[in-house]
Chain A
Amino acid sequence: MTTTTQAAARLPIENPGQAYQRRKTTRGNFELYGWVFMRASGVVLLVLIFAHLFVNLVAGEGISAIDFGFVAGKWASPFWQVWDLVMLWLAMLHGTNGVRTIINDYAERDGLRMWLKIALYTAFVVVVTLGTLVIFTFDPCPPGAAADLLPSFCTT
């Protein structure tokens, strides 16, 4: 009995490097492009986001101007449609890639890694799809909606 317990306990020492064996090589430019993208998109996002914040919260009447109408007004112009679309895509790609690397760095088990990434990529697809859809199809006065939910200018 004692011998078997000891033998079992000694197993990891018999082949100590086992758990740390390097797996197959994973060469390629993906991580290189990812690294460059993070830096480039970070710089572009600085401009996009702070201009977005300024236009929405400070310029003109400031924060009190924000409502359905304000958003509809902005998205009537292709300029702001493209601006918000680029901002949405870059922010989502940048953020998703960042969380992906965090998962790679901190999730130790392959199974956990896989499930966290599935959740992450699902969230990415849902947010990007819905966001893109909203930017191009936003209608502040949907027909058939209850009048008390709509902004005032819809009825006039």
Chain B
Amino acid sequence: MSTTMQSPAATESTQSSAGGEVGAVPSFDVTLRIRRYNVETHGDEAYWEEFTVTAYGTDRLLDALHKVKWDVDGSLSFRRSCAHGVCGSDAMRINGRNRLACKVLLKDLNPDKPITVEPLKGLPVMKDLIVDMEPFFASYREIMPFLVTGGNEPTRERLQSAEQRERFDDTTKCILCAACTSSCPVFWTDGQYFGPAAIVNAHRFIFDSRDDGAAQRLEILNDKEGVWRCRTIFNCTEACPRGIQITKAIQEVKRAMITRAF
């Protein structure tokens, strides 16, 4: 606990066997306070469970979760796939903020206090940290996340200038982890709002010079539950593990709708 992160003095730490190698990674104990839900063993009630594991300064929250699952309690369930911030499987609420467990270092989370880990809010919990992503993907499908074109097919690639590509570059980064949509209070209310992720992915095609479906997508999002429910509170931008300027993208879609209507 008292071991400082920067000092190479792992010699002072509780690790006796590690010896006093210079440059050894300091270790510390960290307590995870995990929101659990398991219908089979605990009925329909969610409950908190605390696990204390030894971790290293280079460990991410995902490593601590692995340690719990592999060494302490195998019933703990969570999603993860690539574990390197690309697949978007392990988004969860960490100390009240939506983050990817594989991109958060434990030492950045203040390991002196228990770290709370909860499933994404606003989506139905299936087990422990696993939520049902279907409502999220339902609105993603609605905005037609694929190329829509008309006319003759070109014999070669559909060419695009660097400037045209730059126009929607930011929104191509989305990995569909649902951290943004499940951080949005408007989505929490009844899950009817399309949500930031669907709008970001619509933005990606609306502003793509090769795509002809912009009018259709704007029509789809010009809905009571569409872009107009955004209150620009920036929760989504803050939550995005890819650093996408989500609120800005939503505003750009709004502006496209207004210029189309007037």
- A contact set with B: CB distance below 8 Å: 5-6, 9-10, 12-13, 16-17, 19-23, 25-32, 34-36, 104-108
B123 touches A (CB below 8 Å) = yes
Q: Which residue of B lies closest to A31 (CB)?
A: B228
Q: Which B residues have a C-beta under 8 Å from some C-beta of A?
A: 39, 43-44, 123-124, 126, 132, 134-135, 138-139, 142, 185-186, 189-192, 219-220, 222-226, 228-229, 231, 254, 257-258, 261
Report the Cα distance A19→B191, complex, angstroms: 9
Q: Are A22 and B192 in contact (CB under 8 A)?
A: yes
Known: A9-B39, A13-B126, A17-B135. A26 touches B231 (CB 8 A): no
Q: Give the interface SS of chain A, mostly helix, strand, loop or mixed.
A: helix
- Cα(A10)–Cα(B132), bound, Å: 15
CA distance A27 to B258 in the complex (A): 15
Is B44 within 8 A of A9, CB to CB? yes
Q: Across the interface, which residues of B come within 8 angstroms of A30, CB to CB?
A: 224
Residues of B within 8 A of A13 (CB): 39, 126
Q: Which of A9, A16, A104, A108 contacts B134 (CB 8 A)?
A: A16
Contact of A28 among B43, B126, B222, B258 (CB under 8 A): B222
The A-B contact count (CB < 8 A) is 81
A9-B43, A26-B224, A32-B257 known; A108-B135 Cβ under 8 A: no
Flag if B222 contacts A29 (CB, 8 Å). yes
Contact partner, A22, options B126, B135, B219, B222, Cβ 8 Å: B135
In the complex, what distance in Å separates the CA atom of A20 from the CA atom of B226? 16
State how many angstroms separate the Cβ of A148 from the closest Cβ of chain B: 52
Alpha-carbon gap, A35 to B123, bound state (A): 28
Cα-based distance from A36 to B258 in the complex (angstroms): 8
Q: Is the CB of B134 within 8 A of A17?
A: yes
Q: List 27 A-B contacts (CB under 8 A).
A: A6-B43, A9-B39, A12-B44, A16-B126, A17-B134, A17-B135, A17-B138, A20-B135, A20-B191, A21-B135, A22-B135, A22-B138, A22-B139, A22-B225, A26-B223, A26-B224, A27-B223, A27-B224, A29-B261, A30-B224, A31-B222, A31-B226, A32-B228, A35-B254, A105-B185, A105-B189, A107-B189
Least distance between B119 CB and chain A CB atoms (Å): 12
Which residues of chain A have C-beta atoms less than 8 A from B189's C-beta? Answer: 104-108
Which residue of the partner chain, among A10, A27, A31, A36, contacts B219 with CB atoms under 8 Å? A27
CB distance from A3 to the nearest CB of B (A): 13
CB nearest to A8 among chain B residues:
B44
Given A12-B124, A16-B134, A20-B124, 7 new contacts (CB under 8 A): A10-B39, A23-B192, A25-B220, A27-B220, A31-B222, A32-B258, A35-B228
Contact of B223 (CB < 8 Å), options: A16, A19, A25? A25
Which chain A residues border B39 with CB–CB below 8 Å?
6, 9-10, 13
The 10 closest A-B pairs by CB, nearest first: A20-B135, A31-B228, A26-B224, A20-B191, A16-B132, A17-B134, A16-B124, A9-B44, A27-B223, A35-B228
